[in-house]
Chain A
Amino acid sequence: MTCEAFASGSSFLHKADPRVKVLCAFFYSLVVACLTIMPAQLASLLISLLLLASARMPLAIVVKRIALINIFVMALWLVIPFSTPGRVLFHAGPLEASVQGIYTSLAITLKCNAIVMANMALLSTSSMFLLAHSLAHLRVPSKLVQLFFFTWRYLHVLEDEHRRMMQAIKIRGFIPRTDILTYRTYAYLVGLLFVRAYERGDRVYKAMLCRGFNGTFWLLHHFHLHGRDVAFGLGMGGIIMALAGIEWSYLIR
């Protein structure tokens, strides 16, 4: 599946214990999201780039994904500089861009990219299944883990149903146009997809009941914490504290 494009690999991050990676990703994202000063934000971007480089993922897909995120970030650049009050830097027609607005936009860009890159490096180097298991091991509520896992597990079923329905309408000569027949066909398609997804879910649930399901997410695989995982976790912990330290030292000045 496309969402696991980076899951197989041989880098250090691929081999690291997913539990450590999940914890690092969580706390790192939390701290980076709270950074308010530019040097700390730049440092976090640098750290994320290093993480991304050490994950050795296919460059083309990485660049494409980051570009996709930055399309949304660009949309913010069109609004925030002109809507934030402050010292005027330049005029664009009737609009005034403020220095503060540009700073805010820059901060969002840096932090957003830093968080996305770090999460790509830390999380997408594990399969969804390992991530779900590590969440369960980290005592995340079982219901949430199951929701996460089944959402992923049945996405491909929906994808499959969708593909089959598309084939069925194609062999009967359907060509998408801008007309009422096309819209109606797509509406039927989406409607049927919901119905089928619901029924499939119902049947799967019944099959699970037949095997005695009572809400328990069984864990058969157990992770083993290696020395390198501890070292990595401590290293990342140090980096996260250092980032928070830069921020703190600036704030109390």
Chain B
Amino acid sequence: MVLSDPLIELNDIDFSYSSEAPVLRGVNFCLQDGARVALKGGNGAGKTTLFHLILGLITPSAGSIAVMGRRCSREEDFVHARRHVGLVFQDPDDQLFCPTVVEDVAFGPLNMGLRSAEALERAEDTLDALGIYHLRDRVPYRLSGGEKRLVSVATVLAMKPDVLLLDEPTAGLDQSVADRLIQVIRSYPCKGLLLISHDPGISSALTNRAFILKNHNIEEDSGSPE
């Protein structure tokens, strides 16, 4: 059997926000088809940075990135990557900007080239699947924290990405909303998943492997919970 291309591949990535403090140095990482990986590491270890590198939101100073088997170096490559890899941001307020919930959810599908009616239908189906159809016409910034989080997840799932990158998806949520979110993500048929979370509950519910970022590099975590 021929091994398929990895979903995400990082080779010898260097990155720093300023010259005196490198964040990542010589990072190699590979997300295989079917992998569900938790990404651990202390505050400032570079977990969010790694997500932003994968989607070309920031540029590494050295190394190469490949997403869905396609080497990503120019913006067009990352435009392709972003269609397949969905990132849920740490703060939902960064993600929601439209005047109504349904428009925010339809925004991604419209950018993918769906016609208005299809995008609207896709958005409504996604809201329905997440059990938040009643928020359809609400104004995103006036929602509660939990509702905002669910909507921000909906905006990403509506694009039907193959890979999900979740950055602290349950931070600040109460147990019942967190459980619902876990349910939603478990039932979403993605090929791969990368999760940043300090909550061992969601990590064990969604992932089966763990990597840890420390000393500017990444390594497989032997297993002791955080």
Asked if A and B bind, the verdict is yes
Q: Is the CB of A206 within 8 A of B57?
A: yes
Q: Is the interface of A mostly helix, strand, loop or mixed?
A: helix
Check B106–A218 contact: CB distance below 8 A.
yes
B60 at the binding interface (Cβ < 8 Å): no
Asked if A143 is at the interface of the complex by the 8 Å CB criterion, the answer is no
Mark interface residues in A201-214 (1 if CB within 8 Å of B CB, else 0).
Answer: 00110111111111
B89, B102, B103, B111: the one contacting A212 at CB < 8 Å is B111
B143 at the interface (CB under 8 A from A): no
Interface hits, B69-119 → A, CB 8 Å: 79, 82-83, 86-87, 89, 91, 93-95, 97, 99, 102-103, 106-108, 110-112, 116, 119
Question: Does A211 contact B82, Cβ atoms closer than 8 Å?
Answer: yes
Q: Is B159 an interface residue (CB 8 A)?
A: yes
Q: Which residues of B contact A207 (CB under 8 A)?
A: 87, 89, 94-95, 97
Query: Are A218 and B94 closer than 8 Å at their CB atoms?
Result: no
Within residues 9 to 47 of chain B, which ones have a CB less than 8 A from any CB in chain A? none
Residue of A nearest to B55 (CB): A210
Q: Can you name the residue of chain B whose Cβ is closest to the Cβ of A150?
A: B97
Residue pairs across A and B with CB atoms within 8 Å: the count is: 67
The B interface is mostly helix, strand or loop, or mixed, namely helix
CA distance A211 to B84 in the complex (A): 10
Within 8 A of B (CB), among A142-186: 150, 153, 156-157
Q: How big is chain B's contact interface, by range?
A: 20 to 34
Contact call B97/A204, Cβ cutoff below 8 A? yes
Decide if B141 touches A209 in the complex (CB within 8 Å): no
List the B residue with the shortest CB-CB distance to A200.
B94
Other contacts beyond A150-B97, A206-B94: 14, CB < 8 A: A129-B99, A203-B91, A204-B95, A207-B97, A209-B55, A209-B82, A211-B159, A212-B82, A212-B83, A216-B111, A218-B116, A219-B116, A220-B116, A220-B120
